[in-house]
Structure 1
Amino acid sequence: MSATAQATDAPLSDKQRRILEYLEANADSQTYFKSRLIGDELEMSAKEVGANMTAIANSATTIDVEKWGYSSSTTWMVEA
């Protein structure tokens, strides 16, 4: 169930950059992130976060993002 397909050079939206910055800032101390909790931190809905995570996973970034599971919110595994 990997969302880490090929990296693309497509520019990230403002929301995607905010999510990416949050993940990069926390990836060293945390591996698993729930869309709902990311949304709470960034004042977005879990749906907004989930809709943007695939673009983040597919962009050329400093982190690897993989859709990990679903339990009351999608969980993402993030590795720096």
Structure 2
Amino acid sequence: MSATTASATGDQHTLTEKQQRILQYLRENADTQTYFKSRLIGDELDLSAKEVGSNMTAIKNSDAALDVEKWGYSSSTTWKVTA
């Protein structure tokens, strides 16, 4: 798979493998959870919090049918995710 990030049009097919893994995790958990810490997502997906955070912008800008908003910064960036 190409290592390109999401395009300006938000085409989901341009998400990297890491971004797709994060997106899948968010989709699976967004029904029961609203706030996600980068550190905890990383723990679940064997990624660092920094890797998660740096890929969330592409997910936010993609056509993923999820609203992603940077929410807080204490002890790890928190993301508000709604379907």
TM-score, length-scaled by structure 1: 0.89
1:69 is matched with: 72
Indicate the structure (1 or 2) with the bigger Cα radius of gyration. 2
Q: Letter of the aligned partner of 2:50 in structure 1?
A: K
Q: Percent identity?
A: 71
Q: 1:20 aligns with which of 16, 20, 23?
A: 23
In structure 2, the CA distance between the partners of 1:65 and 1:7, relative to structure 1 (3 Å rule), is farther
SS at match of 2:24: helix
Q: Which residues of structure 2 form unaligned runs of 5+? A: 1-7
Structure 1 segment 1-80 matched on structure 2, within 5 A: 8-9=10-11, 11-80=14-83
Q: How many residues align?
A: 75
| Greater RCO structure (CA 8 Å; 6+ sep) | 1
**Runs of 4 or more consecutive aligned structure 1 residues displaced over 2 Å after TM superposition:** none
Q: CA RMSD in A?
A: 1.3
Q: Letter of the aligned partner of 2:63 in structure 1?
A: A
Residue 67 of structure 1 deviates from its aligned partner by: 0.4
Q: Which residues of structure 1 form unaligned runs of 5+? A: 1-5
In structure 2, the CA distance between the partners of 1:12 and 1:28, relative to structure 1 (3 Å rule), is same
